[in-house]
Amino acid sequence: MKKHSTKDWIMAVRPWSFPASAMPVAVTLAYLSWVGQEVDWVNGVWALLNIIVFHAAGNTWSDYFDFRHKVDTKESSSVPSLTEHIFEPAEIMRLSLLLLVVAIAGGVGLLCRTGLPLLYIGIGGLACTLLYPPLKYHALGDAVIFVAYAFLPMLGTAYVATGVMDWSTMWIALPVGLITVAILHANNTRDMPTDRRAHIRTFAMALGGRISVYLYAFEVLFPFGWIAGCAAGGILPWWSLLTLPALFMAWGNVRQMSRFFSVGREGIVGVDERTAQLQLLFSLLLIVSFVIAGLLS
């Protein structure tokens, strides 16, 4: 078995994807602070770090099964850890299991510091991680991503940070979650030909290319209207409109995504990466808006 560098191991967990899970937690902490909740920052930071470890475990778990089911190949736009034989499948599986053990241990530690409701959220998160590959292969991956990277982390963060299941966090879960789901949706729209050869059926394949482009546009544009509506209704501070400059990036992504109509999959290569950047920018601006609103209130 060949030796691997530290860089190889880091690349295997796909660290560039971590904002997709970290930002919902960070946005929730900023939101809770703005609404005047007494935040346990130790638990909040703990939750932030723990979901990143869970995310790393999920990445490697998904990569293992995608490789075994020939979803990831040299022809697909996939991470090269397995397709380029940098790692053996067994190594990636062991890494995934190790990360799961660390994440579960961290979750148990938080459970001891908080209460039983966190157990149910943790079980839900673990189920999303383990069941994601087969569910993605049957057109349910988008739903799993929304649950795992919006609904559960935001509700769970609210609980560990305040001791209360604060359902008002769902006002921010929807816009952040939709953009996060759009990352996967852009990826799956691009990979429809290779996924078809692998005999799986993603949500993008179920919808078809044309409707998938329209859905992507909705996922990245609707959040801005949602934020504006929530600000107008007094649910979020007017400062949340600071997210609007990110609309320029979202519109640019939609324009490139629309190239699918004329160029096909080659025209939308890189949209998933730019959507991840959009999610990061949108979330950071939302965090800044809550911080400013809290300081000025």
Query: 1 lies in a domain?
Result: no
And the tokens for 179? 């953009």
200-217 pLDDT, tens digit per residue, is 999 999 999 999 999 999
pLDDT at 272: 94
Beta bridge partners of 138: 201
Percent of the chain past pLDDT 70, that is, above it, reads: 98
Query: 256 lies in a domain?
Result: yes
282-294 pLDDT, tens digit per residue, is 999 999 999 999 9
How far, CA to CA in Å, does 165 sit from each of 54, 152, 277, 289?
21, 11, 30, 23
DSSP secondary-structure letter at 58? H
Is residue 220 within 8 A of residue 249, CB to CB? The reply is no
And the tokens for 156? 């769970």
And the tokens for 98? 């190790």
Beta bridge partners of 273: none
d(CA 94, CA 60): 9
Query: 178 lies in a domain?
Result: yes
How far, CA to CA in Å, does 42 sit from each of 112, 125, 138, 161?
13, 21, 39, 8
pLDDT surpassing 90 at residue 44 = yes
Percent of the chain past pLDDT 90, that is, above it, reads: 89
Determine the average pLDDT of the residues in 140-147.
96
pLDDT surpassing 90 at residue 278 = yes
* b/e burial code for range 10-32 (CB count within 10 A of at least 16 → b): ebbbbeebbbbbbbbbbbbbbbb
Q: What's the gap between Cα 79 and its chain centre? A: 17
And the tokens for 81? 């850890």
CATH number of the domain where residue 269 is located? 1.10.600
Query: 60 lies in a domain?
Result: yes
pLDDT at 265: 87
d(CA 17, CA 222): 22
Q: Please give the residue range of the domain that contains residue 75.
A: 6-296
Which band of pLDDT confidence, cut at 50, 70 and 90, is reported for residue 233? very high
Which band of pLDDT confidence, cut at 50, 70 and 90, is reported for residue 77? low
Is residue 185 within 8 A of residue 22, CB to CB? The reply is no
**Residue holding tokens 């971590």?**
18
Supply φ then ψ for residue 41, to 5 degrees: -70, -25
Q: Where are the alpha helices (DSSP H) in the chain?
A: 6-12, 19-34, 41-68, 80-83, 89-113, 117-136, 141-146, 152-162, 170-190, 192-197, 203-207, 209-232, 246-257, 271-296
**Which of 11, 47, 12, 8 is closest to 26 using CA atoms?**
47
Determine the average pLDDT of the residues in 161-189.
96
99-137 pLDDT, tens digit per residue, is 999 999 999 999 999 999 999 999 999 999 999 999 999
pLDDT at 78: 65
Domains in the chain: how many in total? 1
261-273 pLDDT, tens digit per residue, is 999 889 999 999 9
d(CA 76, CA 30): 38
Is residue 180 within 8 A of residue 20, CB to CB? The reply is yes
pLDDT surpassing 70 at residue 3 = yes
Query: 77 lies in a domain?
Result: yes
